Chain A
Amino acid sequence: MQKYSNRSVSIDKLKEIACKARKYLLLISAYNQGIHLGSALSVIDILTVLYGTGRVDFLNGGWDRNWLVLSKGHAIHSVYAIATAMGYISWTELRDSGDIGSILQNHPELGAPGVDVATGSLGQGVSIAVGIALGIRLRGKDYKVYTIIGDGELDEGQVWEALATASHYGLTNFIPIIDHNSMQLDGELSVVKHKGDIKQRFSGLGYRVYIIDGHNIDEILSILEEVETSNSMNIIIAKTVRGRGISEIEGTPKQRLSREDALRLVNDLKC
């Protein structure tokens, strides 16, 4: 049975957390040039559901619980923002993120809340997640390993190595979620390097592929419940938009804002 501490949380409450988290992301970007704002905004609704329902926690020890691996490590500020919205981090700590004295670094490092695995080098988190899922299974348990993978990250061969290993070992507790915002550093996916038919590529490796709207809290909740009780390998392609929620950067490759713009936009965002 799926273990989460806040099963009864309402969709409205989750939307509220996501909205607050978006405000905090804007506030971070006013002070921290190390943020990847667009990338953090595309994944924030998914992460809000995972943390908001208590599926994963910000402060962890031990192996016997669900894990979150943010293989798309540059979106870590999303985690910090949600943690602040939920009261685990103070605003001043958040504001100092990325500073030399802060434990809230610009990619996941051990010691920061919400970080189970240090990532940042694309592709590597997926293999680690598979190893964690394997370790949990080896101990006879079914704790889930939610793994967030970027769509640009799919260029890295290691991702496919890991996906093949996971399905070879039937690790159904490994739950990969692709944050499919159609953008990578040098531009749109199809312009930089085509990914082919990723649905086919995944199903070829034995995964049942689900495509959802990555900004629809309801859909995210339903799909998680579906895959968590499933006996097959599943992969979720969450269609998202870079910069979603902030109209000025939505759909653009923009990852940073000036302090002026960021503070102005915070006021525009109504929760």
Chain B
Amino acid sequence: MILNIDKHDLASLTPRDALGRALVDLGEKYGDVVVVTADVGEATRAKYFQLKFPERYFNVGISEQDMIGVATGLALTGFKVYAVAFSMFLMRAWEQVRNSVARMNVPIKIIGTHAGFSDSYDGASHQCLEDLALMRVLPNMVIINPADACEVYEAVTASIGLKSPCYIRIGRDFSINITCNLDYKFEIGKAVIIQEGTDVSIFTTGQMLPFTVEAVKILEEKGISAELVHFHTIQPLDVSVIEKSARKTGAVVTIEEHLVRGGFGSAVAEVLVQTYPVPMSIMGATRFGHSAKNPLDLYKYFGLTSEEIAARAEELVKIMKRQ
């Protein structure tokens, strides 16, 4: 933890509140931190930073492409820049991230909020299920997908020291806090082994963590020992943990709040197929989202539940036994 804060203070915050808090704390510690947003200071809580450091806060209006360029320019003059907007609309600036940020390897920190199904109300147009795939393909890009409000705080504050650009995708209000009570050290690039097991590996990222924790319990009751590993960092991926776990269990289920092509599951598959191929099941969204009253409705609708995860893991174990 870069800044001295009691994690229990964070447990009651929403992911976006934790972001706002992290930005303020960073702003207090580092005089050269600046924040840029695209008309979503309120919605992302970047506004907390504005209230304390108005001279270091910039709003470019609804212009995400411009935001990325302005952030790049600020970074070229030596500032530590946090560029904050909704994940979905940051994707319209993907080419700017590719051509202005990644190509010059400018260490700006791009924070995408309202990612996955967290913005249940606004529906498919806003529910970003493609960002991990799009960011992952870029050289020099560090990608972090925190599990809950506590990890949002960890990720955002830890990113201050990065020498390459990074993309951190967070939710909105929904958060089931697991890492707040976990005794571990948040390190960019290091996977977190939540529970060891022998029959099947479950790899999770972002806000799917609590559902995998429940899934492990369901499997336990069925006599299946699942190994649960949480990957807050998608890039660089903790390759050694992936390989070690696959060798131990021989079967891997991945889950993400993202489309099944090109995201976390694909990243894991790329590693395993080139080192230690094992049967895999990649879980995630398979089509665009929908308006809903609560992200939980969307998780159910798209089969991203602890029951489904347990069922997939069980299926994989059965397949393995037959071989």
Contacts and interface: CB of A to CB of B under 8 A. Distances in A.
A14 interface: no
A99 interface: no
A158 B74 contact: no
A164 interface: yes
27 contacts: A63-B78, A117-B104, A124-B65, A124-B96, A124-B99, A127-B66, A127-B69, A127-B72, A128-B70, A128-B72, A130-B69, A130-B70, A131-B70, A131-B72, A131-B73, A132-B76, A134-B74, A136-B77, A138-B34, A138-B56, A158-B66, A158-B69, A161-B63, A162-B69, A164-B63, A165-B61, A165-B70
Contacts of A165: 60-61, 63, 66, 70
A120 B65 CA distance: 15
Contacts of B58: 134, 169
Interface of A: 63, 110, 116-118, 120-121, 123-136, 138-139, 157-158, 161-162, 164-165, 168-169
A118 B77 contact: no
B56 to A, nearest CB: 7
Q: Which of A123, A127, A157, A168 has the most CB of B within 10 A?
A: A127
A136 B55 CA distance: 13
A164 to B, nearest CB: 7
A133 B79 CA distance: 12
B69 A135 contact: no
B71 interface: yes
B96 A132 contact: no
A126 B70 CA distance: 9
Contacts of B69: 124-128, 130-131, 158, 162
Interface residues of B, number: 28
Interface of B: 34, 55-56, 58, 60-61, 63, 65-79, 95-96, 99-100, 103-104
Contacts of A125: 69
Give the interface SS of chain B, mostly helix, strand, loop or mixed. Answer: helix
A169 B73 CA distance: 15
A135 B73 CA distance: 7
Given A127-B68, A138-B56, A161-B63, A121 B99 contact: yes
B224 to A, nearest CB: 51
B16 to A, nearest CB: 24
A31 to B, nearest CB: 26
B76 A128 contact: yes
A121 to B, nearest CB: 4
Contacts of A118: 99-100, 103-104
Nearest to B93: A158
- Going nearest first, the 10 A-B pairs with the smallest beta carbon separation are A131-B73, A127-B69, A135-B77, A161-B66, A161-B63, A131-B70, A63-B77, A132-B73, A121-B99, A128-B73
Nearest to A143: B77
